[in-house]
Structures are given as structure tokens and as C-alpha cells.
Amino acid sequence: MNQVSQINRVTGAKKAAESAAMPGWITFLLAASCGLIVANLYYAQTLVGPIAAATHLSSGAAGLIVTLTQIGYVIGLLFVVPLSDIIENRRLTVISLLVVVAALVAATLAPNAGLFLGASLFIGLGSVAAQILVPYASFLAAEEHRGRVVGNVMSGLLLGIMFARPLASFVSGLWGWHAIYAISAVIIALLTLLLSRVLPQRQPVPAMSYGGLIRSLGTLLMNTPVLRRRAIYQASLFGTFSLFWTTISLRLADTYHLSQQGIALFALAGVAGAVASPIAGRLADKGWTRPLTGLAFLLAGGAFLIAYLFRSDSAVTLGLLVAAAILLDMGVSGNLVLGQRAIYSLGNEARGRLNGLFMAIFFVGGAIGSSLGGWAYAYGGWELTSLIGMTVPALAFVYYLTEKKQA
């Protein structure tokens, strides 16, 4: 009995230490950091035209500006984020951010397309620092508060995604497209210095070499049904999210004749959807993961149903399209938190690899959604685009109904 009591005391002390290690200001810092870092992936999406013109990229090759950033991010998710399971997390974060700063400076000064595209690849590669910080926050949080903490940190990340596009358009309109990269380079440099000074250290105990770590990714994917299911859920929702935001600017310009500033304001409206992240995290802590997952699919499908049914050029229809954007963003952001909480609950020793796999899979879904959206709008207009947008979450909902227990 004495041994059992001693184990209980050690476990209790560990939990108390974890709770004490996660004050509110660190949660806020991690949330703000994730938002500022991940925004670098999205600045170029509204600046493809002026960047292509300045670097003499053809219209056919202009898509590489965004694509290479995403490719760099996926490479980082698969080959850099797993290092957080064997390398001290604060040091790994700082090194990744230094890569981002250097790449942002190179993008700002790039005299030609080759250098800019190379910089874009490394911007994506280094920006995986955000996906080192999210599981790091989960590690610091006590189990009973993990959903809330992850939800709050993911709110910051999602706000960074949502604000990046309108902010880039606004800054570009004032000072040119170079300015957003220069400003971000300064901000990320200051953030790197701050994080290196104030973040607690987290030194994982290496259980294998880096080669073994990478080889273990396939094993983890095959042997972790929760990871596979949650990744498929989020890939389908992020695919519809990317499909929507890839084509909506074309829809707004063609049908409602909105200027770049008007499109930026529309994108700002979608920020309201980020409110779902902390709410989903808190409710997940109370055991609501399964019903909220189903609700996420219904919100995404309902958003595209609204977009499909109301296709006139009236102000009322535009207002309904804003509502659809908010509903879609709520479903995607809420389900992301549910998925990350589920996989982080599987254990500390593989959390970095699990997160890297999860994010890589759903970013692949986003890339497919972007490509599919461009094709659908070109050949079938908004009607085909919204039909595809309804179909994908509907199919995912059917798959969700096969879930036997909470995941």
C-alpha cells in the first residue's frame, strides 16, 4: 500500500506541476505566435497577380507561388515536426523561425521568379514551427484542461489564417506587395527572440533515432485508427474550406462586382467563424466530441447549400453568402480542435509525429480542394462549385456514421 500511495503522490504532483506550468499568459503567447507564424502561408494568396507581374512569372506558373509554400509546409510537417519528439522543443522552434525570417527577407528582396519561389518553399518549411507549438501547448496543459488550451491556441492560429488574406491586400495597396514580407520578417524576428527567452524548456526522452522516427510514421498511421479517422474528417472539411476560399473572390468579382477592398472585407467576415475553436475545445473536455463532429459536417454542407440555393446578385444574397462563409469556418475550425484534442490524448511520446501526420493529411485535402475549386469554377461556374462543396461533407458525414465510439 505504501508503494501505491507513493505512486499516487508522484502522479498528483506531476499533474499539479503541469497545471502550474501553463499560466494564461503562455497560452496567449502561444496562440498569438501560431497566428503570426501561420499567416505567412497565406499572404501570397491575394497577391499572386502583382507578384507574378513583378517577378515575370507567366499566368500558368503563377500558381506555384502558393503551391510551393504549401509543399514546403507539408515537407516540414513530415520531416521537421516529428523532431519535436526527440529534440528540445524551444530550440527546434527557434531554429525553424530563423529559417522563416531568412526566407521572408529573401522574398522581400527577390529580383526574379526563381529566388522568390525558392524563398516561398522555405517560408512554408519554417512555418511548421506553429505545429511544434500546438502539441507543446498540449504537453504543458493538464489533461482536464487540454481541450480548452488547444482550443485557445488554435483560435490564434485560425485567426492568423483568416486575417492574412485581407491584411496582405490592405498592406499591398498602401506600400506594394514587398511590404507584407518585410513587415512579417521583422515581426517573426522579434517573436523568435521573445520565445527563446520566455518559453519553458521541454526536453523529450528520445526513444529512437531520426531515421527510426521517420520510418515510424507509416506504422503510426496504420496502427492508430483515431488518427486516420480524424485526419480524414479534417481533410474533407479543409478541402471544402479551400474550395470555397479559392473561388469566392472570383464569385464576388464576377457576380457582385466587388473591388479588392470589398473582397478583403468579405474575408474579414469569415473571422467570426474562429469563435468555434475555444467553444469546441471546452465542450470536448466535457465529452461532446462525437456529436460536435457531426455538427461540423452539417455546418459545412449547410453553408454550401445556402450558396447553391441563393445565387442572384442581390444584396440579400450577398449577406447570405457572408453567413455561409461564417458557418463553413465554424465547422472547419471547431472540428480541427476536436481532432487535435483526440490525437493529443493518445500520449506524449509520439505527439509530434501524430500532429505532423494529422496536419500533413488534411493539408493534402486542402490542396485537392483548391485544385478542384479552380477546375469547377472554370468549367461549371458557382453552381458546380457549390454542388461539390455540398457533396464532400455529405460523404464525410456518411463515413462519420460508421464511427463506433468517440474518437
Q: How far apart are CA 226 and CA 355, in angstroms?
A: 12
| pLDDT band per the 50, 70, 90 thresholds, residue 187 | very high
Give Cα 61 distance to the centre of its chain.
25
| Residue 407 pLDDT | 44
Rounded to whole angstroms, the Cα distance separating 79 from 330 reads 30
Q: Is 367 helix (H, G, I), strand (E, B) or coil?
A: helix
* 200 closest CA partner among 15, 21, 36: 21
Give the pLDDT of residue 385: 92
**pLDDT at res. 105:** 97
pLDDT digits 0-9 by tens, 88-120: 999 999 999 999 999 999 999 998 999 999 999
What is the pLDDT averaged over residues 161-166? Answer: 84
- DSSP track, 116-154: HHHHHHHHHHHTTHHHHHHHHHHHHS-GGGHHHHHHHHH
Distance, CA of 271 to CA of 160 (rounded, Å): 9
Q: Is 59 helix (H, G, I), strand (E, B) or coil?
A: coil
pLDDT of residue 22: 63
pLDDT value at 307 more than 80: yes
pLDDT at 8 over 80: no
Percent of the chain with pLDDT over 70: 91
Question: Do the Cβ atoms of 386 and 308 come closer than 8 Å?
Answer: yes
Query: Model pTM?
Result: 0.76
pLDDT of residue 63: 62
Tell me what pLDDT residue 159 has: 82
Band the pLDDT of 259: cuts 50, 70, 90.
confident
Mean pLDDT taken over the chain: 85
Q: All domains of the chain, ordered by start, with CATH?
A: 1-206 (1.20.1250.20), 208-407 (1.20.1250.20)
Lowest mean pLDDT: which of 22-26, 98-102, 189-193, 336-340?
22-26
What pLDDT, in 10s, does the model give residues 129-152?
998 998 888 777 777 677 778 778
Q: What average pLDDT does range 346-371 have in this prediction?
A: 80
Q: What pLDDT, on the 0 to 100 scale, is given for residue 109?
A: 94
Please check whether residue 117 is in contact with residue 61, taking contact to mean a CB–CB distance below 8 angstroms.
no
CB 396 within 8 A of CB 297: yes
Of the candidates 46, 50, 40, the one whose C-alpha atom is nearest the C-alpha of residue 176 is 50
Identify the weakest region by mean pLDDT among 95-99, 154-158, 175-179, 314-318.
Answer: 154-158
| Residue type present at position 203 | Q
Q: 164 near 39, Cβ under 8 Å?
A: yes
Band of pLDDT at residue 300, cut at 50, 70 and 90:
very high
**CA–CA separation, 114 vs 64, rounded Å?**
11
Q: What average pLDDT does the segment 364-388 reach?
A: 85
Helices marked H in 224-275 — which ranges?
A: 225-255, 260-269
Contact 154, 375 (CB under 8 A): no
Q: Which of 131, 129, 72, 88 is nearest to 344 (CA)?
A: 131
The CA radius of gyration of the chain, in Å to the nearest whole number, is 21
Please determine, for residue 395, whether its predicted confidence score (pLDDT) is greater than 80: yes
Q: CB 10: neighbour CB atoms within 10 A? A: 10
How far CA 300 is from CA of 162, 238, 306, in Å, comes to 17, 10, 10
- Whole-angstrom distance, CA of residue 157 vs CA of residue 147: 15
Q: Which residue has the higher pLDDT, 317 or 57?
A: 317
8 Å CB contact between 355 and 138: no
pLDDT tens digits, one per residue of 52-90: 788 887 755 666 777 788 889 989 998 998 888 888 999
Range picked from 32-46, 96-110, 162-176 for highest mean pLDDT:
96-110
The region of weakest confidence among 91-100, 164-173, 292-301 is 164-173
Instruction: Indicate left, alpha or beta for 65 from its phi (over 0: left) and psi (-120 to 50: alpha).
Output: alpha
Q: What contacts 82, CB < 8 A, 6 or more positions away?
A: 213, 214, 217, 352, 353, 356
Specify the pLDDT at position 405: 62
Question: CA-CA distance, 270 to 329, in Å (whole number)?
Answer: 6
Place of cell 522552434: 93
- CA 345 remoteness from chain centre: 19
